[in-house]
Amino acid sequence: MPRAPKGAPTLVPAAAVLERLLRHYPTPDTELAYRNAFELLIATVLSAQSTDRRVNETTPALFALYPDARALAVADPADVEPIIHATGFFRVKSRAIVTLSQRLVAEHGGDVPATMDTLTTLPGVGRKTANVVLGHALGVPGLPVDRHVLRVTERIGLTFETTPEGVERDLCAALPASDWTRMSDALILHGRRICRPRPLCGECFVADVCRYPFKTGGIAPLDLGAPPTGRPAGRARPPSRNAPGSQRSDKAPRPTIGNAIKRTTTNPQAGSSRRSGNAAKADSSRRSGNAAKAEGRRTKAVKK
């Protein structure tokens, strides 16, 4: 575990963050649809580089044809590819879930094993996927760490770790095992809805203990009572010429109607020339605009 940087604030208590999250997500859960451990395992593998919504739209057709490990184990990956195409990387994923099912049948009688060590030996199954299945479908405490959990925990100040394994270790040490899975689910929901890559800090209900404003605003790390800093101030505007104490340069005389008349009467041809030039430019601009409109109408007519 890396040590806290010198002068860094103490970590925010995980229990305090979970208590605030549960006020707004009373029953946090995975958003993947499943009926048993096998379906959740396959759905989680398919969710890599995809979204839960897209996976939930795909799995009903998949499980209608291949309802369990034994059925999927004898499938041709080429037949599975078009079914899971929408989840992305469909060729790799089709081979992974067929091979995974074959291993489940050959080594575990078609059942999903209930230990981290055994699950992570299966094709396409890492710690995150194993923790999802253990915590949600098998009743074994697990704390999945995905990109949302990584982002939110670092922002709030729950850990100094930057790897999934390190974050999992810190959170598990800070919470009882019974809270591991719902802490992960709540952090994921918070990361999707509020603490996005561009966070909605004004709507956040963890803001009173979050370290993020102090990282971005330059406030002393432990000064939790300090007001938010807001955006950096822009450039100072020059003082108004009418402001008290302001002085006008003698080299720039104040424009007056008399000066304008004087310039016109001194050189009447210059004024006439400028007016003629402006009129010519305006007429040319109108002709160009009309030509462009006519061309546009012809183009539309051809397309129709």
Output the six-digit token pair for 119: 């699950």
Rounded Cα distance between 53 and 58, Å, is: 9
Torsion of CA 67, 69, 75, 76, to 10 degrees: 130
Vertex 163 angle, CA 162 and 168, to 5°: 105
Are 212 and 9 contacting, i.e. CB atoms less than 8 angstroms apart?
no
Contact between 258 and 264 under an 8 Å Cβ cutoff? The reply is no
Known catalytic residue at 76:
no
Q: Can you read off the two tokens belonging to residue 20?
A: 């605030």
Q: Known binder of ligand: residue 172? A: no
Per the annotation, the verdict on 111 as an active-site residue is no
CB 97 within 8 A of CB 142: no
Distance CA 166, CA 110 (A): 32
User: What is the per-residue pLDDT for 258?
Assistant: 46
Cβ proximity of 4 and 173 under 8 Å: no
> What pLDDT score does 81 carry?
98
Amino acid at 35: R
Question: Could you read off the pLDDT tens digit of each residue along the chain, which spans 304 residues?
Answer: 455 555 556 889 999 999 999 999 999 999 999 999 999 999 999 999 999 999 999 999 999 999 999 999 999 999 999 999 999 999 999 999 999 999 999 999 999 999 999 999 999 999 999 999 999 999 999 999 999 999 999 999 999 999 999 999 999 999 999 999 999 999 999 999 999 999 999 999 999 999 887 666 544 443 444 444 443 333 344 444 544 444 444 444 454 444 444 444 445 455 555 555 665 566 666 666 666 565 555 444 434 4
**pLDDT value at position 196?**
95
Q: Please say whether the beta carbons of 83 and 65 come within 8 A.
A: yes
CA-CA distance, 240 to 226, in Å (whole number)? 34
Tokens of 275: 């007016």
Whether the Cβ atoms of residue 213 and residue 219 lie closer than 8 Å to each other: yes
Q: Does the predicted TM-score (pTM) go above 0.85?
A: no
Give the CA-trace dihedral at 147, 232, 10, 153, to 10 degrees: -10
Query: What gap in Å lies between CA 71 and CA 65, rounded to an integer?
Result: 8
Q: CB–CB of 90/76 below 8 Å?
A: no
Q: Which residue is listed with tokens 């003629």?
A: 276
Nearest to 167 by CA among 134, 127, 202, 118: 127
The single residue of 93, 128, 170, 179 carrying the catalytic annotation is: 128
pLDDT of residue 10: 82
| 204 belongs to an annotated ligand binding site | yes
Our measurement of the distance from residue 209's CA atom to the centroid of its chain's CA atoms, rounded to an integer in Å, reads 21
Query: Which of 68, 111, 146, 215 does the annotation list as catalytic?
Result: 146
